[in-house]
A and B are shown apart, each in its own frame.
Chain A
Amino acid sequence: QKEVEQDPGPLSVPEGAIVSLNCTYSNSAFQYFMWYRQYSRKGPELLMYTYSSGNKEDGRFTAQVDKSSKYISLFIRDSQPSDSATYLCAMSAAGANSKLTFGKGITLSVRP
């Protein structure tokens, strides 16, 4: 089993839809959970950053972490064409030499 699994997609939704992106993981040492957004021909950029379990909201974006189920989600409300990008979940354990492990990414297309 891979350390981080992410639905491969692609995903296509109409403008205004609610989007749910998910990742599961197997390493119980993971403490930091992130979502990165990557536009075509660009580097990934941090979208949401969560420590341990719980929810975090930022505008139209909500990140959820359920450590008991080893499951994280990103919700996008009122999706816009400008949200069209690849979304990568990433996570790491605490401590020196911890590395960020990424999911495979899902490409989202929001149709006008």
Chain B
Amino acid sequence: DTAVSQTPKYLVTQMGNDKSIKCEQNLGHDTMYWYKQDSKKFLKIMFSYNNKELIINETVPNRFSPKSPDKAHLNLHINSLELGDSAVYFCASRTGIDTGELFFGEGSRLTVL
């Protein structure tokens, strides 16, 4: 039973398109995150939500819009995709804002052509 699940696992799309990635966690955690991992494995936080409220919003282009319909789900929508958006996007969840282990999903590999 997967703790943090993301769909889809792979996306290949053209520049200028819009795409969404969905994330669900069944751990009962209050806090969820989106991280971006580039080709050099650098993992950078993008957004964090606590109980459906946005609490961390790093310097991310407005083309990226997270949405949390409830505390178990955090989706990421990307408009007008660019080549530089190609990366692996990881969803993660944690017990609280500053406590506990961060559990990661398996990642969604986005390739923009």
Contact = CB atoms under 8 A, between A and B. Distances in A.
B45 interface: yes
B48 A105 contact: no
B106 interface: yes
B113 interface: no
Interface in B77-113: 90, 92, 97-98, 101-107
B98 A102 contact: no
Contacts of A43: 4, 90, 92, 104-107
A49 B101 contact: yes
A43 B105 CA distance: 6
Interface of B: 4, 40-45, 48, 55-56, 90, 92, 97-98, 101-107
Interface of A: 8, 38, 41-46, 49, 86, 88, 90, 92-102, 104-105, 107
Contacts of B98: 92-98
Contacts of B107: 41-43
Contacts of B4: 43
Contacts of B44: 102
Contact of B97 (A41, A46, A97, A104): A97
A99 B56 contact: yes
B102 A104 contact: no
B41 A88 contact: yes
A97 B102 contact: no
